[in-house]
């Protein structure tokens, strides 16, 4: 079984630890001899702790032109500027059951993945709705729930539809705020009854700075000094 490229996410149900509530957990490691002092086991964490692994669409799905998917800025960026790309990646799109089995084997309670905007709306607009892409995510979310894993959905992990980049200049244009809102609202309505946890935009700092200033990330723009701040402002909106 080919493993996914997982990154470990340790997600706590609340964002605030009250009155040193975690002190008791970490105190258990304070006086243990080696190698017990390095233990990092499920049993050392409070009941209800959320164990998760995560991926992003471009890094795992592959199938970059399959079943009506549109081109994203990452497709364009890697094809033009890098020696490697995500055209196939780990081919998650065509191997849902393999990935479900891998997630089950890991024994996690939650799985974070991102939706490829262009797989549902190839040109980024609601008018271009792709039913095959919609069914893919619907089926994947259901399979996660079938094995008792809560889906955590990232709406935008940097892979903006290339059509929106060409038409509006990407996130430098405030119009993208409305286009993203339409896309997000559709996803909430389509999947919200089965998805409790949502992430809007992954790491907006990296997207704004390295996507529109240094050019190290897609769409690879070396913008004027004000550009990344304009982009960041629109991402926050």
Residue 209: predicted pLDDT: 98
Give the global pTM. 0.82
Instruction: Provide the β-strand partners of residue 11.
Output: 50
| Largest CA-CA distance found in the chain, in angstroms, rounded | 62
Q: Which domains does the chain have, with CATH numbers?
A: 7-13+28-75+85-204 (3.20.20.80)
Pair 64, 87: CB distance under 8 Å:
yes
Q: Does pLDDT of 195 surpass 60?
A: yes
Q: What is the mean pLDDT of residues 137-157?
A: 98
So what's the pLDDT on residue 3?
42
H helix runs in the chain, sequence order = 23-27, 57-60, 73-81, 96-106, 117-120, 131-146, 162-168, 175-191, 204-212, 227-236
pLDDT for 28 equals: 66
Q: 141: burial class by Cβ within 10 Å (0-12, 13-18, 19+)? A: buried
Across residues 146-156, what is the average pLDDT?
98
Give the contacts of 41 (CB within 8 A, at least 6 positions apart): none
- pLDDT tens per residue across span 70-101: 999 999 999 999 999 999 999 999 999 999 99
Q: Is the pLDDT of residue 207 over 50?
A: yes
Residue pair 226/163 in contact by the 8 Å Cβ criterion: no
The CA distance from 25 to 49, in Å, is 12
Least confident of 34-43, 111-120, 220-229: 34-43
Query: Is pLDDT above 70 for 137?
Result: yes
Q: What is the mean pLDDT of the chain?
A: 89
Mean pLDDT for 4-18 is 40
Question: Cα–Cα distance between 182 and 237 in angstroms, integer?
Answer: 13
The answer to whether the CB of 178 falls within 8 A of the CB of 237 is: no
| Residue 144 binned pLDDT confidence (cut-offs 50, 70, 90) | very high
pLDDT above 90 covers what percent of the chain?
79
Query: What local confidence, expressed as pLDDT, does residue 30 receive?
Result: 67
Say yes or no to pLDDT of 139 above 80. Answer: yes
């Amino acid at each position: 079984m080919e493993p996914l490229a997982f990154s470990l996410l340790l997600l706590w149900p609340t964002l605030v630890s009250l009155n040193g509530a975690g002190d008791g957990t970490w105190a258990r490691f304070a006086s243990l001899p080696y190698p017990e002092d390095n233990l990092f086991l499920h049993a050392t964490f409070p009941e209800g702790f959320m164990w998760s692994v995560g991926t992003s669409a471009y890094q795992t799905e592959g199938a970059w032109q399959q079943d009506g998917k549109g081109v994203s800025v990452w497709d364009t960026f890697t094809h033009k500027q890098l020696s490697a790309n995500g055209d196939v990646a780990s081919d998650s799109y065509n191997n849902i059951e393999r990935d479900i089995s891998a997630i089950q084997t890991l024994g996690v309670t939650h799985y974070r993945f991102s939706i490829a905007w262009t797989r549902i709306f190839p040109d980024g607009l609601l008018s271009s709705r792709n039913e095959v892409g919609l069914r893919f995510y619907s089926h994947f979310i259901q399979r996660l729930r079938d094995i008792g894993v809560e889906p955590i959905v990232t709406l935008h992990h940097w892979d903006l539809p290339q059509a929106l980049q060409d038409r509006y200049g990407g996130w430098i244009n405030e119009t993208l705020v409305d286009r993203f809102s339409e896309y997000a609202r559709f996803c909430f309505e389509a999947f919200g009854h089965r998805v409790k946890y949502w992430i809007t935009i992954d790491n907006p700092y990296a997207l704004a700075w390295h996507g529109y200033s240094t050019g190290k990330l897609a769409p690879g723009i070396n913008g004027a000094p004000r550009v990344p701040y304009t982009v960041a402002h629109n991402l926050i909106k």
